[in-house]
Amino acid sequence: MLRYFLKRLLSLALSLVAASIVIFLALEVVPGDPAAYMLGLNAQEDTLNALREQLGLNGTVLERYLSWAGGLLTGDFGISYTYRTPVSEMIGDRMWVSLPLALYALTLSTLIAFPAGIWAASRRGSYVDAGVMGVTQLGVAIPNFWFAMLMVLIFAINLRWFSAGGFAGWDAGFWAGMKSLTLPAIALALPQASILTRVMRSSLLDTLNEDFIRTARAKGLNKAQAMWRHALRNALIPVLTIMGLQFSFLLAGAIIIENVFFLPGLGRLVFQAISARDLIVVESVVMLLVFAVIVVNFAVDLAYALVDPRLRGRR
């Protein structure tokens, strides 16, 4: 178990280093001189120099990478040129919108998908199954930002149950904050829940065909017992994989959904930064999101080991 953990940890570290190099190359080396890029064509030479100094751009590519990566490790993301504030502060504020939104959506989609998938699988071929499959077919196909707009139209503009956008802030209380995240989270969760339901269902059906389910039935377990005690945990392995992959879609989706609801999250931040040519902010946000994806997949790997003794027992 320890060895599996350490191996995964090593691969986590390598992935992070590789990702940071890719991001650094794409956003600091490819554009040429970032200072000139940020200030545009008409910049004065001394302004440029000042910015270069401020951004730590004087040095070889390797030196710049090391100082940037070193900064990341200590939580120092550099200074936004546009806002003249530390990027870490800007991100810190926005993260408390984006992260809860992603977790809220993940929770919702899991809470919907697990029961729905199990329900459909246990009544394979019935109207329940056909109904669940039909709904998920639509859920997979619907663009989530459009679904979000429709929800705004119905629940905010017509029924006035929710506000059409904006974020109440956590200062206004936990429930007020959650309320302003509810429509965005539902919009975000719907396609993910649909995919997860389908994966859960097909994985369960596959597992129910396994020989050991027949063995369990021969012991005297009824269908439900065989499913809950033997099939479910085995079926979870592919579901975990998909949940890990989904997290990156969830983050990407969150960036778009934040735009529909005018939520002050990382997504809004990154688009503002793009239009302001504030590369440091873009770089930091992208790095943070990639970091989140990699860490989540690391967690999924660990979850595998919890579920599957064959990984734990590898000696």
Positions 188 through 227 that interact with other proteins (CB under 8 A): 210-212, 214-222, 225
| Least CB distance to other proteins at residue 220 (A) | 3
Taking CA atoms, 212 is separated from 155, 204, 216, 217, 221, in Å, by: 48, 13, 6, 9, 12
Candidates 260, 263, 265, 301; binder of other proteins (CB under 8 A) is 260
Candidates 44, 62, 171, 310; binder of other proteins (CB under 8 A) is 310
Applying the rule CB under 8 A, the residues between 132 and 171 that interact with other proteins are 137-138, 140-146, 149-150, 152-153, 157
Candidates 105, 118, 243, 282; binder of other proteins (CB under 8 A) is 282
Residues whose CB falls within 8 Å of the CB of residue 315, separated by 6 or more in sequence, listed in order? none
Does 19 bind other proteins (CB under 8 A)? Our answer is yes
| Least CB distance to other proteins at residue 101 (A) | 15
Does 62 bind other proteins (CB under 8 A)? Our answer is no
**Which segment (68-76, 105-113, 169-177, 274-282) binds other proteins by CB under 8 A?**
274-282
Long-range contacts of 156-163 (CB under 8 A, 24+ apart): 156/183
Angle at Cα 145 formed by Cα 249 and Cα 239, nearest 5°?
A: 30
**Cα–Cα dist 188/192, whole Å:** 7
| Least CB distance to other proteins at residue 31 (A) | 5
Does 47 bind other proteins (CB under 8 A)? Our answer is no
DSSP label at residue 170: G
Report how many residues bind other proteins under the rule CB under 8 A: 76
User: How far, rounded to the nearest angstrom, does the alpha carbon of residue 127 sit from its chain's CA centroid?
Assistant: 33
Does 26 bind other proteins (CB under 8 A)? Our answer is yes
